[in-house]
């Protein structure tokens, strides 16, 4: 399998599917950038309405969370959560349950936010502008989720995964992206 390499700012080595943890961490960095873009977009649309720059930013956010978000959650739910639940460690079991709950909450928040961004791509910023709290909540939820995973879950699980398990997880992550591209509705800003 040919490695997919993504180098994120501040990352010491390229993220590859051969190192699943690096891919998950790189995804977290992109999630944080998209959440920051969402907050900047709200401020920009407040000043400039649904101009071309706002429409393109909204389309980028939609594309990212429609495609990468579901894959990232599935990666964790297939390769981390089961190990945590099977660990017998009450703290890992509790963390795994929190991760699953947070994934559902994030999916619900995205389901509420997405139509507002679609409206913006179509030239109407009013709905998004009326929901600043939703934008802030979505970004905050993701930040809290990332902190739980990076500070507690990943360090609890990844060190115990052998090379063969990591290789299999990485191969499955890569293959899912080939077999199951995720995109709800194409967004084409004017």
Q: What is the average pLDDT across 25-52? A: 96
**Residue 184 within any structural domain of the chain:** no
**Residue 86 within any structural domain of the chain:** yes
**Residue 4 within any structural domain of the chain:** no
Structure confidence by residue, pLDDT tens digits, 56-69: 999 999 999 999 88
**Residue 121 within any structural domain of the chain:** yes
Q: What is the average pLDDT across 27-55? A: 96
**Residue 62 within any structural domain of the chain:** yes
**CATH number of the domain where residue 85 is located:** 1.20.120.520
| Res. 131: pLDDT tops 90 | yes
**Residue 73 within any structural domain of the chain:** yes
pLDDT at 6: 37
> Residue 150: CB partners within 8 Å, gap ≥ 6?
25, 28
**Residue 81 within any structural domain of the chain:** yes
**Residue 49 within any structural domain of the chain:** yes
Task: Name the pTM for this structure.
Answer: 0.84
Q: Retrieve residue 154's tokens.
A: 């990943």
Distances (CA, A) of 150 to 27, 68, 116, 145: 12, 18, 30, 9
- What is the residue range of 39's domain? 20-176
Structural domain count, the chain = 1
| Res. 15: pLDDT tops 90 | no
Distances (CA, A) of 175 to 164, 179, 180: 16, 6, 8
């Amino acid at each position: 399998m040919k490695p997919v390499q993504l180098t994120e700012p501040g990352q010491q080595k390229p993220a590859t599917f051969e190192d699943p943890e690096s891919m998950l961490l790189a995804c977290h960095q992109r999630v944080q950038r998209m959440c920051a873009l969402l907050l900047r977009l709200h401020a920009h649309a407040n000043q400039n309405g649904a101009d071309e720059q706002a429409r393109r930013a909204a389309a980028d956010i939609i594309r990212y969370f429609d495609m990468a978000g579901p894959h990232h959650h599935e990666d964790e739910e297939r390769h981390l959560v089961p190990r945590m639940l099977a660990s017998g460690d009450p703290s890992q079991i509790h963390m795994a349950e929190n991760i699953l709950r947070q994934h559902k909450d994030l999916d619900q928040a995205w389901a509420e936010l997405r139509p507002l961004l679609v409206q913006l791509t179509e030239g109407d910023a009013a709905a998004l502008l009326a929901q600043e709290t939703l934008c802030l909540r979505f970004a905050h939820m993701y930040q809290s989720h990332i902190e739980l995973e990076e500070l507690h879950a990943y360090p609890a699980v990844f060190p115990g995964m052998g090379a063969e398990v990591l290789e299999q997880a990485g191969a499955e992550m890569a293959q899912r992206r080939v077999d199951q591209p995720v995109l709800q509705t194409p967004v084409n800003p004017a």
